[in-house]
Structure 1
């Protein structure tokens, strides 16, 4: 991940970087991200796993590029993103990391979505 973040920083470098990448903003990057996610979906639908690997890489780089934009503005950092999603996923799997027990995929999904709903309610308070 840090290798890709370094690449994004190089592309944005005012002296050595790419003029197109230097002009990108959160808003201008939205279309790139949507396009890459659509290509991931298409590769999944086509069961083209070699293409899926490529498209996941493109989508991942787009996300890292956006994180780099946030870092430039001192809004948040890569470690913040990773830490937040890690905490969220642990909380949403109480049947793995907590006291709940799930013996079927349906039970696991129920615990996941119940935890997600609790978290969303907590966030809106």
Structure 2
């Protein structure tokens, strides 16, 4: 992931304006929850995933650049991260983090823009 962290990859099959709310989210090694909220603004796209009981009801924010495929028929999105990587992501607090640019930077770094994985996609 590079500067396009906050944009859906052209190859993902995402259609601008499509409502992903309720879609199941699949990590590279299994299901992690459902889309609770998403944004499809150009350069500012993300999905908020409700992980349910999988990680104790935690919500996580994933930049749109992590989405590799959208399957509208099955109502699933696939992301290029493992469950462990998602579980260990910086904590998401809806009330403060959606508009927090510092948090967005932290998320971008975590998911591979010069962050803990050496500036390469994890």
TM > 0.5: no
Which has the higher relative contact order, 1 or 2, with Cα contacts under 8 A spaced 6 or more apart? 2
- More helix by proportion, 1 or 2? 1
TM-score of the superposition, structure 2-length normalised?
0.28
- More strand by proportion, 1 or 2? 2
